[in-house]
Chain A
């Protein structure tokens, strides 16, 4: 196993060399605005929330230290509380591994001899968002999160006695490069109104999900890759907050601007991350976005790719996706970077783990399984585009979200596949 560990390090270093240096693109309109001017505002009743994510340069200017170098990214949040009760902003909702102001001061105090800890501590503490937000007041400040590049899903949970309000904002972070191809994707609308298919009948919707292709493909659709084993019903208000609360974050460089365009139309024509390194294809395009969940060990992550489908279910967006658990890194000749993630061949395990995790997210209302992937038994596994073997019971996991908070016991099971209560017998063992 020592040899494997070294292989991983060696291949990462080769990949880094090949990747070369990033070049900055031209300055866009959004970068000319300061963080308050480009903040995006959302409202729920009498409560208004604005948020903006600082670039590395801005955070250096405001905090006086290079926060980005330590992987810290300030998110500016303003809550205007026109309600009749006080609200608290929940930092773990924004990022379960956020950085307290005092800890961040300590991170830099040892590096900067001229700055005493006390000065930094007072400065950072004054900048921090201070709870609560009393009725009729406006409070603003920063929450220090883990660094994301290009775009950030900002999840604002406000809690009052017996009440909860949830806001999701996709914020573009200035200062990242782009390329020409991705820009073309960005200015294109994904679907026209005529192309959207609205479902309200559960049977018809289930049939449509079963008809989806089994797998992602390569660009020219000549080979099948990972199975499309996930369907998410929901979006900005419900599904994405759930993912953020449980520690899922956008990956670097994997956002196609088209989704941003759809979500934050005001941001049209602005910067977005460049195209993914190893895109997988569905609907003739690479994934609209990719998310990852870093686990206890920084080398291990779960990956999730999503495409917005032309379907809607009861007015909600329907995303089709692929989830896998990375259990390491290995050499491959099928990627220009010579390394790829080794995925857990039991792909159903990652799908089930996501379903179980989302039960704790407070936003999941229904879960179930639907056919469409096609079974691949353990003794005759299929292979993805980087030739990793996988096997599956052939089902896609379906997750339906709603903005109203749902307790663990109120999550319902779709009676689609499997036995009573939507449970599926775990059969891969017998195959």
Chain B
């Protein structure tokens, strides 16, 4: 039996603090070294990728065609001779067909800023005293991995090793040409983890299609955003939920791309589904993962029943759980942190680094709480807020930090200007 060590698991193990534990580890290590570890066996036959191709999603951007599919545990066993999925890695097969006249390069950090290298994954299957087998294993993993560049008129396929996404996977692929970016966003099902979520994503597309009202004028759009309810509600509509404090405007793919580039991964919990807007739970939930694999904050997204200048509008709750990030909390104990404005403001800052944010504005609509006052939400949570919604516009064209425009929709700045001047006045007294 091949022994494995889960890359993800190791994160969550608390560091050994006691000496006796370390001695036990040394002893068990020696024991394991003496008993030896069974080594890797190459897969018996050439991998038949017809199944993968059959279920792959495909998208074409100008002269570039991308196909992609997430490998199942069975696929990775047959292809790599090892259960990569079991080691906390999600292998994704991709094929890029380049019919342009330029050389192309797949930018891996756009897909996952913390991607694993092929030999890194291979190394986690190495066994002691098995040099030759380990070398074969390395070669095998390397030969199946995706290789840049993609020359004009050619097709390149292979596997990239990403961090796991459950249920459905939003795959972002940035392909760079000469002064040109070919961005792709695909929705892939995760074969071993099929749930109702797959249909939920199809619903998202339908909901986007169903949004008929298309506001052309900034003032009427702004008025519409201000009229949205302050908050989500409970399932029976009787109790107020978390505030709807962010609006995202753009093509679906552009919004997802920006979020993925900043490390958000799709992850919906029971905890999220109690929040209702437009008579339904969130259409998508994303969580940002920080170093160590611990969840940092969430965005719960609903497709709005209207558009702005043809673009999709998302109504969003940006929030963070209560508690220290390195403290493990069971799902049932999750609770909203009261400082929702802080999460909203840091989300804006985070998206400023996504190269996709073009405009920022604020509108009212959440309703401010009085100083010292907390407003109740679901599950015993409460929060305080300045009552504003951030409106973030996302685009395809890559932008730099100096290209972002701040729209003068709300006297947000003037309020803060007065505050700051007051504060300086107080300090000098």
Contacts and interface: CB of A to CB of B under 8 A. Distances in A.
B126 A360 contact: no
A88 B404 CA distance: 12
Interface string B10-30: 110000100100100110110
Contacts of A266: none
Nearest to A349: B117
B289 A296 contact: yes
A90 B4 contact: no
Interface string B389-407: 0000000011111111110
B258 to A, nearest CB: 12
B120 interface: yes
B343 to A, nearest CB: 7
A219 interface: no
B108 interface: yes
A1 B293 contact: no
Given A356-B109, A419-B103, A407 B349 contact: no
Give the size range of A's interface with the partner. 35 or more
A43 interface: no
B342 interface: yes
A68 interface: no
A102 B8 contact: no
Contacts of B424: 137-138
A296 B124 contact: no
B142 A346 contact: yes
Nearest to B106: A356
Contacts of B338: 102
Interface of A is mostly: mixed
B237 interface: no
A349 B147 CA distance: 10
A132 B423 CA distance: 13
A353 B117 contact: yes
Contacts, number: 257
A133 interface: yes
A164 B401 contact: yes
B61 interface: no
Contacts of A159: 352, 401-402, 404
Interface in A220-275: 245-247
Interface of A: 1-7, 9-10, 13, 70, 86, 88, 90-93, 96-97, 99-103, 106-107, 110, 121, 125, 130-135, 137-139, 146, 157, 159-164, 245-247, 294-300, 325, 327-328, 342, 344-346, 349-350, 352-353, 356-357, 359-360, 362, 378, 405-411, 413, 419-421, 423-426, 429
Interface string B151-175: 1000000000001000000000010
Given A90-B349, A405-B401, A161 B406 contact: yes
A1 B125 contact: yes
Given A100-B339, A342-B123, A425 B149 contact: yes
Contact of B149 (A107, A359, A423): A423
Give 10 nearest A-B pairs by CB, closest first: A3-B32, A405-B400, A107-B324, A164-B402, A1-B5, A161-B406, A134-B417, A408-B398, A6-B29, A296-B114
Contact of A4 (B11, B126, B180, B399): B126
Given A102-B320, A407-B355, 18 more contacts: A1-B4, A6-B26, A10-B29, A86-B416, A100-B346, A101-B342, A121-B339, A130-B420, A139-B420, A157-B401, A161-B404, A162-B404, A164-B400, A344-B117, A353-B117, A357-B113, A420-B102, A425-B151
Contact of B413 (A86, A138, A346, A413): A86
B369 interface: no
B262 to A, nearest CB: 8
B105 interface: yes
Contacts of B320: 100, 102-103
Nearest to B122: A327
Given A90-B352, A103-B325, A420-B102, A3 B16 contact: no
Nearest to B343: A100
A408 B355 contact: yes
A9 B406 contact: no
B143 A429 contact: yes
Contact of A1 (B37, B290, B337, B398): B37
Contacts of A407: 355, 397-400, 403
Nearest to A428: B142
Contact of B353 (A93, A342, A352): A93
A360 B401 CA distance: 11
Nearest to B181: A409
B117 A1 contact: no
Interface string B307-347: 00000000000001011111100000000011100110110
Contacts of B216: none
A1 B103 contact: no
